[in-house]
Amino acid sequence: MPLQGLSSAQAEALLTELVAVAVEHHGRTQGELVAALAEVDVDPSLQRGLRAACKLVIDQCDFAVRDDVDPADLRQRLFGAAAAARAAGTFVRDAVVAAVAADAGLDVPTFLAMLYADLDEARLVDASALRAMSPAELVRRWDLAEVQALLLRALAVRIDVEARPVEVRALLRALKLQQLLFEPVPTEGDGLALVVDGPAALFSQSLRYGLKLALLVPRVMACRTWRLEAMVQLKKGGAPARFTMAGKAAVDDATAAPPSPLVQGLLDELPAAIAALLPGATVAENHALLAVPGVAACVPDVVVTAADGRRCFVEVLGFWSRDAVWKRVALAQAGLSTPAVFCVSERLRVSEAALDADDASLLAFKGSLSAKKVAERVGRLLAP
């Protein structure tokens, strides 16, 4: 990943130097820190990298206002006294300052220094968090920030991921939360590809959704493998440029949350139950998206693949909201290109009668889920 033209090693070296400056300014003012960082000398070709690194370092600092005096109160007293002196025709600047400072129990230089101590540049630097951070961690944050900064200028994004259902669902939730729309793109294998932009992008390309797209990045980067392709408008009125970024998350299958007991039970028992009905069929955890535009999108838990390659999804809705179930009903009613069985707990109070009697897509269950009943429904949906 490019870090404003710096290699990772250069970035780490630069950040180490800047962190030392910030730590040295712990307890001094923000203005002094900013001035000191601006003094760091680098090759002219690395100036942009320096500016980015300075911002990164400043962002990791906390800033506090001195709490032993209230600058706003000092100002109120000083300006009130000055206005009164002007009205009385007795205004002498230094005399007014000396009187108010004495009244506040401060000497004049301290009083004047405290007068605007609440402005940003006068706040005190707290570099504690920075002390505990390794340069490598800062480089990682730089990386993320740079991808997000780029997406702030994005007109549209294509996301390709290979991920577990839990990560894909998290990504879909993030899309919904940000009110972004997507169009699934057919892919080979288990991957998922989505073209994402905002609703008003239909009428004109806009940077309106850049921030929302940037906020998706952590969700994308959490996937096992990911690739972002963004059309980015770097200059106002300029032609969009295509940027591609890719990476892999450090996903540890050993510590990853296992499927729910109901889903795990299906994965364990469904192969045997289905074998009698559909010889040669396989059962696996599903990674694919099931969507009907304008109706709903979901990532079912299990996929059954018949010997002839046709597939049927199974999704288990145990403790979900009723609204989620109705969306699945709407999916089934809309007609799915790949059939699905939605197994709904009776706790959710949704009857199989919500669909036509001959539609096998809705299976209500009480307590435990019978793999045999699921297999029977899958068999009906995949019947030639």
Residues in contact with other proteins by the rule CB under 8 A = 44-45, 47-48, 72, 75-76, 78-83, 86-87, 89, 93, 96-97, 112, 115-116, 119-120, 179, 181-183, 198-200, 202-203, 206-208, 236, 292-295, 334
Both tokens of residue 106?
Answer: 């401060």
The residue type at 250: A
Identify which of residues 9 and 334 has a Cβ nearer to other proteins in the complex: 334
Both tokens of residue 352?
Answer: 């199989």
How far, in Å, are 35, 42, 79, 119 from residue 113 at the CA level?
Answer: 18, 33, 16, 11
Identify which of residues 170 and 207 has a Cβ nearer to other proteins in the complex: 207
The candidate with the shortest Cα–Cα distance to 148, out of 204, 232, 224, is 232
Q: Minimum distance between the CB of residue 187 and other proteins, rounded to whole angstroms?
A: 17
Instruction: Please report how many Cα atoms fall inside a 13 Å half-sphere around the Cα of residue 374, on the Cβ side.
Output: 33
Residue 224: phi, psi to the nearest 5? -55, -50
Residue 162 pairs in a beta bridge with: 225
Q: Minimum distance between the CB of residue 376 and other proteins, rounded to whole angstroms?
A: 30
Tally of CB atoms within 10 A around 112? 14
Identify which of residues 86 and 131 has a Cβ nearer to other proteins in the complex: 86
Identify which of residues 43 and 253 has a Cβ nearer to other proteins in the complex: 43
Residue 232 pairs in a beta bridge with: 154, 241
Identify which of residues 116 and 319 has a Cβ nearer to other proteins in the complex: 116
Tally of CB atoms within 10 A around 158? 19
Q: Minimum distance between the CB of residue 211 and other proteins, rounded to whole angstroms?
A: 9
DSSP-derived 3-state class of residue 103: helix
Q: Minimum distance between the CB of residue 276 and other proteins, rounded to whole angstroms?
A: 38
Q: Minimum distance between the CB of residue 143 and other proteins, rounded to whole angstroms?
A: 23
Q: Minimum distance between the CB of residue 44 and other proteins, rounded to whole angstroms?
A: 5
Identify which of residues 93 and 366 has a Cβ nearer to other proteins in the complex: 93
